[in-house]
């Protein structure tokens, strides 16, 4: 081999050897509530979008909250605009007859079992979200979830199989303050 070719290959060999000795970098996993500012041009408001990613055998579920901060609210207090659980798989829908019937409408609900920390399991019916793979979280359930360290939520998919989701609830202080969760 010619000396000039050897001199050109030597730095490449050393660089690749040095790189192989370095520990592989793990992607940084962002834990806790992720917060972004969103703008709704139609309503001329800016709101705070919170996301908490959970774990499930069927994907990556997320708790998603949209809140109007106090400075944007005409009452001077923060307000929850939406609280949703994005499951990522179509859910089994139950049609529940309302207490008072006006026409032929029924409520689309999803039966949910949830447990905060190591507490007692609660069974509730949550409204189906705008997509068949999400549901709206009632305010009372949201309060319990935010005050827990962990929550396990189970619902049935469209085939009737249970979908269990686990969330490690990080410090909810910014969520509670922005959304005025009392």
In 3D space, the residue among 44, 35, 77 whose CA is nearest the CA of residue 179 turns out to be 77
Whether 136 is covered by a domain: the verdict is: yes
Whether 51 is covered by a domain: the verdict is: yes
Whether 62 is covered by a domain: the verdict is: yes
Q: What is the DSSP pairing of strand 162-168 with strand 62-68? A: unpaired
Q: What is the DSSP letter of 4?
A: H
For the CA atoms of 51, 130, 113, 82, what is the dihedral angle to 10 degrees?
Answer: 50
Whether 138 is covered by a domain: the verdict is: yes
Whether 172 is covered by a domain: the verdict is: yes
Query: Can you tell me the distance from the alpha carbon of 178 to that of 182, in angstroms, rounded to the nearest whole number?
Result: 11
Question: What is the total count of domains within the chain?
Answer: 1
| Whole-structure pTM value | 0.76
Whether 154 is covered by a domain: the verdict is: yes
Range of the domain at 92: 33-179
Whether 39 is covered by a domain: the verdict is: yes
pLDDT in tens, the chain (182 residues): 555 444 444 444 444 444 333 333 333 345 789 999 998 888 888 899 999 999 998 889 999 999 988 877 777 788 899 999 999 999 999 888 777 766 667 788 999 999 999 899 999 999 998 889 999 999 999 999 999 999 999 999 999 999 999 999 988 888 988 888 87
> Cβ(96)–Cβ(137) under 8 Å?
no
- Residue 96 forms beta bridges with which residues? 107
Whether 6 is covered by a domain: the verdict is: no
CATH classification of the domain holding 37: 2.60.40
């Amino acid at each position: 081999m010619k000396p000039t070719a050897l001199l050109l290959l030597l730095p490449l060999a050393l660089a690749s050897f040095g790189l192989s000795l370095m520990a592989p970098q793990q992607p940084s996993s962002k834990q806790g509530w992720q917060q972004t500012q969103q703008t709704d041009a139609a309503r001329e408001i800016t709101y705070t979008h919170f996301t908490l990613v959970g774990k499930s055998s069927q994907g990556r579920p997320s708790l998603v909250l949209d809140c109007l901060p106090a400075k944007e609210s005409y009452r001077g207090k923060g307000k929850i605009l939406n609280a949703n659980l994005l499951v990522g798989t179509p859910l089994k829908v139950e049609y529940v007859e309302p207490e008072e019937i006006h026409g032929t409408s029924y409520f689309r609900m999803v039966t949910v079992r949830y447990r905060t920390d190591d507490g007692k399991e609660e069974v509730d019916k949550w409204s189906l979200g705008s997509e068949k793979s999400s549901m709206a979280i009632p305010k009372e359930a949201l309060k319990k979830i935010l005050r827990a360290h962990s929550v396990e939520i189970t619902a049935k998919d469209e085939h009737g199989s249970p979908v269990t989701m686990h969330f490690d609830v990080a410090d909810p202080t910014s969520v509670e303050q922005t959304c005025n969760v009392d």
